[in-house]
Structure formats: C-alpha cells, structure tokens
Amino acid sequence: MVFKSENIVEKKIGGSFVTGKDLKLFVDKWAKIFKSKEMPQSKSVFEATAELQHEMAKAAATEYYARKMKGIISSGENPGLEFSQLEDKHR
C-alpha cells in the first residue's frame, strides 16, 4: 500500500524535482557528513549541498548526452559510425 502510485509524492530539493538516483546521492552524501563524531559547521553543510547539486547536474547532463549520441548513431544519419568509435574519440 505504501508504494501505490497515489501514495508516492515527487520530492524536491532546493526547489527542483529529484529522481530516485538523485535522492540516493543526497542520502549517501549526508550520511557521510553526519557519520563523523563531530557536528559539521553550517558552512560545510552548505558547501556539501552545493557540491551535491553540481554532481546531480553533471550526472544528468552526462546521461542526456549519452542518450542523444546513441540516438544519433542508431538513427542511421551516420552510416559506418559505431558507438564504440564515438566513445574512443571522447576519451
């Protein structure tokens, strides 16, 4: 009953909706911060949040880019170009 679609609420962090993957990154990052025996300073909490939001944006951009490149390759617009060749050029 907990996981029925009508019971699931989209989550927001900093005003932006987050995916399950993003939420996991957030929880992992915060768990690391609070795992130490010392309470973090508010500045370090802010920095950690900013860093995590940057990581989430980077992961989303990378995922988008990879999806678009696979689409270009599989569309037939570039005959003879394989995804592995594209990957090699980006390393």
Beta-carbon count within 10 A of 22 CB: 20
Beta-carbon count within 10 A of 56 CB: 21
**Residue boundaries of the structural domains of the chain:** 5-89
pLDDT digits (tens, 9 = 90+) for 15-24: 778 888 888 8
**pTM for the full predicted model:** 0.51
**CA nearest 60: which of 16, 29, 28?**
16
C-beta separation of 44 from 33 below 8 A: yes
- pLDDT at position 80 is 67
pLDDT digits (tens, 9 = 90+) for 25-41: 878 877 887 787 777 67
